[in-house]
Structure 1
Amino acid sequence: MPGTEPSTVPLIVDVDTGIDDSLALLYLLASPEAEILTIASTGGNVPVAQVAANNLAWLELCGRPDIEVTLGSPAPLTDPLRTTEDTHGPQGVGYAELPASTRSVSARSSAQAWVDIARDRPGEVTGLVTGPLTNLALALRIEPALPTLLHRIIVMGGAFHHPGNTTPKAEWNISVDPEAAREVFDAFSAAPADRRPVICPLDVTETIEMRPEHLRRLAAVAGSTPAEVISESDPVGTRSHAANPIVRHLSDAVRFYLEFHRDHGQGFLAHMHDPFAAAVALGTVDYRARSATVDVELTGTLTRACTVADYYGMWGRPFNADIVVETDPDEFFSSLVDRIGHCARRTPFG
């Protein structure tokens, strides 16, 4: 359970920005606990160059040009990259049209940034991965001691007692690069219990349901006008008229996600997987976790990229992960609405 984390959490943030990754970034930028040391970009929801552009754009919009953005691997370890513009929009941010940043990415790669930062601050840094695990796997090849150099890693990925969202058994982030996921989980088999990865799987993240009311409340906290009212009866692609640019772009991004979930029979809601993982990384949400040995199926005809958990030691292998199994979505959304709303209110661009 949270409560033992330091007041400031040094973070490596590794994302494939996407709509819910965008909310995760905004949540971190709005949180005083977060000391973001770098933002690593990995190909996933959209190609890696677009991911980096989205990261730079959000940072500029929020007045944080001081944070490094690195460029990661353009493709998974073995397979061609598959992207999800149908889920996240052509640029990965739904209907939002973010102003392009004038900054460029860092000269060092995402994998090298993982290694450099962990070596510079041994035992201090938490890694948050909300996309495929490609960059971290490559970093482990450079520095196999990362499991002891890092304070902990938080991974949004996997599905254990829940259907997949990419195949009947596989979750998207793991499915994009299952070889990388297996390398990472194997590497952490020797990590001390308090440094095991914390996995935020679909079992829990699909209970984190964002609805139009959350956006209305967030805009109200931001003091944005007019009231941010999103209705399922609105024409497809309706754009926000919010005066506050963070609220406006966030609303345009999330509307696309709401429509996607509705069109796939899940209701006019949006599963906010990645912001929840960000809250776990910061220790700002209560959760219950269960220790297990986690592995990834690589060869199954029907089950490739399926995450499998051994809770009882049947494999005779050490535990290598703590799997989140329960949380309070209302508590999480209260934090998200309040933090991002106040951030949008005080930003110089708002």
Structure 2
Amino acid sequence: MALVYLFGSAEAEVVGIASTAGNVGVQQVCENNLGLLELCGVTGIPVSRGADAPLAIPLRTAEDTHGPQGLGYAQLPSATASLTDHDAAQAWVDAAHARPGELIGLATGPLTNLALAVRAEPELPKLLRRLVIMGGSFDYRGNTTPVAEWNTSVDPESAAEVFAAWNGAEHLPIVLGLNITENIAMTPELLNRLAEAAGAPSRMMSVHDPRGTASTADNPVIRVLEDAMRFYFEFHHDQGEGYLAHLHDPLAAAVALDPDLVTCRAAPVDVELTGTLTRGMTIADWSGHWGRESNALVGVDVDAAAFFDHFIDRVATFARSVSRR
């Protein structure tokens, strides 16, 4: 959904996709990215394979949350494009060198690839125009442990390295934690509004539907998004959170283009790596106890209604354009 939002944004030029292991294994993520480009009829965007595992620990994945292929019930076409011959970390470095000071980096998974990129090119924070990270949780509960958010929990060492790399940087990364992204709740009503705006009305989903009921939308993009969301709705319902889905990554994509969608507060941020109960926790030192300079702009408030207005308008317009091809 984040990628489709970017494809539907006239001011966005996607110059590369770095596939990140996390929700599922990295090879499946590569296939998903290539398949989505095929579905959307988007060509010319290089897709690179990232690391197979985190920096220091085995990979944990989340098929229970996102389905065996990481896309819920959605089915994507087979891709005709291929992966790049270089890995995702090198893709970050090459793109930043090719367009210094121009690129906005967007990280919506574990930060393994970005940490490896910074190891290879310590000047990366100076080469990027802006960085937006979806990860962490600030003064808020976790969704993987009582205090840790999934992306950071999968590879805490990489997150700690990335935050350290931005110490003293001129342009601080915008960090969107669960305290912000869980305000962006997709519901059956909003998804139905999206389908209607795309000219592809579909039967509104209900918690009473049989599990895995397929979308009835005749637009291929809307159908994939609805089938993906249904699995995610069902997961949240089973967790006792309601028949809805938190759009963590689409918010990060929107903020990459328009930072004014969120209110941020500068702070030094670090990641707990050794705590018995708190490993993977992201900590913002609001009170200056550490005596460090700020290395992040932490999201503290968001206009959810404004986000959904942007999201529905752009994704619906793009979906209509795909159906006309």
Instruction: State the TM bucket, normalised to the shorter chain.
Output: over 0.9
SS of corresponding position for 2:14: strand
**TM-score normalised according to structure 2 size:** 0.98
Give the aligned residue type for 2:293: P
Match in the other structure for 1:55: 33
Select the residue among 98, 114, 117 that pairs with 2:92: 114
**Structure 2, gaps ≥5 residues long:** none
Cα RMSD, aligned residues only:
1.1
Match in the other structure for 1:334: 309
Separation (CA, whole Å) in 2 of partners of 1:286 and 1:303:
30
SS of corresponding position for 1:35: coil
Q: Assess if the C-alpha contact under 8 Å between 1:156 and 1:201 holds in 2.
A: yes
Answer yes or no: is 1:92 the counterpart of 2:70. Answer: yes
Match in the other structure for 1:9: none
Match in the other structure for 1:254: 229
SS of corresponding position for 1:51: helix
Give the aligned residue type for 2:39: L
Alignment of 1:1-350 (within 5 A): 23-192=1-170, 195-225=171-201, 227-283=202-258, 286-348=261-323
Separation (CA, whole Å) in 2 of partners of 1:204 and 1:325:
6
Separation (CA, whole Å) in 1 of partners of 2:37 and 2:103:
21
SS of corresponding position for 1:259: helix
- 1:239-293 Cα deviation digits (max 9, x unpaired): 1121111111110000000010001000011000010011110117521100000
Shift of 1:314: 1.4
Shift of 1:175: 0.3
SS of corresponding position for 1:34: coil
SS of corresponding position for 1:289: strand
Separation (CA, whole Å) in 2 of partners of 1:325 and 1:190:
22
Separation (CA, whole Å) in 2 of partners of 1:98 and 1:321:
36
Higher alpha-carbon deviation: 158-167 or 278-287 = 278-287
Separation (CA, whole Å) in 1 of partners of 2:309 and 2:2:
14
- 1:40-60 Cα deviation digits (max 9, x unpaired): 001000000000110111111
SS of corresponding position for 1:258: helix
Q: Assess if the C-alpha contact under 8 Å between 1:157 and 1:202 holds in 2.
A: yes
Separation (CA, whole Å) in 1 of partners of 2:10 and 2:284:
34
Q: Assess if the C-alpha contact under 8 Å between 2:66 and 2:231 holds in 1.
A: yes
Shift of 1:65: 2.0
Match in the other structure for 1:6: none
Separation (CA, whole Å) in 2 of partners of 1:326 and 1:190:
25
Separation (CA, whole Å) in 2 of partners of 1:286 and 1:86:
31
Moved >6 Å (runs of 4+): none
Distance 1:212 1:171, change over 3 A: same
**Structure 1, gaps ≥5 residues long:** 1-22
Separation (CA, whole Å) in 2 of partners of 1:103 and 1:330:
37
Q: Assess if the C-alpha contact under 8 Å between 2:269 and 2:296 holds in 1.
A: yes
Shift of 1:228: 3.6
Q: Assess if the C-alpha contact under 8 Å between 2:19 and 2:88 holds in 1.
A: yes
